[in-house]
């Protein structure tokens, strides 16, 4: 969507398993974000990164980890420590002037 | 933490009518943004209004901002069935918040043909 790609679209996780969600952008933006959305609710910030090799915790970082080794990529790992990971995960990026550009999301389900 | 709160939570109107959604927030902001989300999809940026602006237009959209009341409204004129979606306000409090957006819980708009 508009230069930012999330994969996979659907992901299933078994109990005790770590899974990684991919987010890639070709907009040359410095800032990238991960949000979690539960049914019928707004978005809550998990992690964000304003520059390569640096990232900060958001409001609900427990049980998640990220890396930012390249400007284009900001993968999110949902660890086994996240006890309720079933949700819709959205990645976003911004060049600051015109708001955020969001990916199309990954729906994660625990099986 | 949820900075913005939208009102109403759900709104159902007939095609051709206007739809108004409201957003209230708690802290001072640099700007306020409105986004749209179709079911199961990512969010799409609609409009950004800065703290020193009072009103902004984009096509059938009109946004107002009252910083003294810490509130904003989004008006969609001459609504269409394709406008059916969830609408979210998001606030950017600037450096004090780490330059990140905080979203409200959204208004679900249904436009009946």
CA dist B19 and B60 (Å) reads 11
B85-98 residue pLDDT tens: 999 999 998 764 45
Do residue B48 and residue A99 have CB atoms under 8 angstroms apart? yes
Which residues have CB under 8 Å from B6's CB, separation 6+? B21, B22, B23, B87, B88, B89, B104, B105, B106, B107
A37-50 residue pLDDT tens: 998 889 999 999 99
**Confidence at B1, pLDDT banded by 50, 70, 90:** very low
CB B48 within 8 A of CB B31: yes
Across chain B, where does the E strand assignment appear?
5-7, 10-14, 19-24, 31-37, 43-50, 55-58, 61-66, 71-76, 85-92, 101-103, 107-112
Q: Exposure of B22 by Cβ count < 10 A (0-12 exposed, 13-18 middle, 19+ buried)? A: middle
pLDDT attached to residue A2: 54
A75-110 residue pLDDT tens: 999 999 898 999 999 999 998 677 899 999 999 998
B75-87 residue pLDDT tens: 999 999 999 999 9
CB A79 within 8 A of CB A65: yes
pLDDT attached to residue B7: 86
pLDDT attached to residue A15: 85
Give me the phi and psi of B33, to 5 degrees please: -125, 150
Residues 38-77 of A with CB under 8 A from B: 40-45, 48, 50, 56, 58-59
CA dist B29 and B8 (Å) reads 22
Best interface-test mutation with B: which of A5, A34, A43, A55 has the largest number of B CBs within 10 A?
Answer: A43
pLDDT attached to residue A101: 94
pLDDT attached to residue A40: 84
Residue with tokens 């409105």: B34
Select from A6, A48, A90 the Cβ nearest to the Cβ of B43: A90
**Confidence at B44, pLDDT banded by 50, 70, 90:** very high
């Amino acid at each position: 969507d508009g230069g930012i790609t999330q994969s996979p679209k659907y992901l299933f996780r078994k109990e005790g398993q770590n899974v990684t969600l991919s987010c890639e952008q070709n907009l040359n933006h410095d800032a990238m974000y991960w949000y979690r959305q539960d049914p019928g609710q707004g978005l809550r910030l998990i992690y964000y990164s304003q520059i390569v090799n640096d990232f900060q915790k958001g409001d609900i970082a427990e049980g998640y980890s990220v890396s930012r080794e390249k400007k284009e990529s900001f993968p999110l790992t949902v660890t086994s420590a996240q006890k309720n990971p079933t949700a819709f995960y959205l990645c976003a990026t911004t060049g600051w002037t015109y708001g955020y550009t969001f990916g199309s999301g990954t729906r994660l389900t625990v099986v | 933490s949820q900075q913005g709160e939208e009102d109403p939570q759900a709104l159902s109107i007939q095609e051709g009518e206007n739809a108004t959604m409201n957003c209230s927030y708690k802290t001072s902001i640099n700007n306020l943004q409105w986004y749209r989300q179709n079911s199961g999809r990512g969010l799409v940026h609609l409009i950004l209004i800065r703290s020193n602006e009072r009103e902004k237009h984009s096509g059938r959209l009109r946004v107002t901002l009252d910083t003294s009341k810490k509130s904003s409204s989004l008006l969609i004129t001459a609504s269409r069935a394709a406008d059916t979606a969830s609408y979210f306000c998001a606030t950017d409090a600037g450096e004090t918040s780490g330059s990140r957006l905080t979203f409200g819980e959204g208004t679900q708009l249904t436009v009946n043909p």
